[in-house]
Amino acid sequence: MKIQYKQLLIFILITMIFVSACTKINKGSIPPEKYCEKDTDCVPNKCCHAEDVVNIKYAPNCNGVGCTKDCRTILDCRFGTPICRYNQCTIKRLK
């Protein structure tokens, strides 16, 4: 039994629509302090030895804060970097 070209094309189109609808992120399910649209929206959540990242709108004011140069967390010494993945701020491990 041969599938006709038009039927195959319609099947592929419907599948693509279904997949894109299923992978769409629900902004309401992401806390506002973690929501992002690009990597530059995300920064460490603490001035020193941060273990998590947040949207830049929720970043602490680190003016005048001095930190040790200890490598205590993944963000210390550039072992990780803040990124935006699926509209949520997270950390990408570099090493």
pLDDT one-digit tens code per residue, 20-66: 544 445 557 999 999 999 999 999 999 999 999 999 999 999 999 99
Task: Note the pLDDT of residue 22.
Answer: 47
Q: Tokens 């992978």 belong to which residue?
A: 23
Give the residue among 15, 7, 55 at the shortest CA–CA distance from 31. 55
Q: What pTM did the predictor assign?
A: 0.68
Which comes out higher in pLDDT, residue 76 or 55?
Answer: 55
Could you tell me the two tokens for 64?
A: 């005048």
Residue 7 pLDDT class (50, 70, 90 cuts) = low
What average pLDDT does this structure show over 80-95? 95
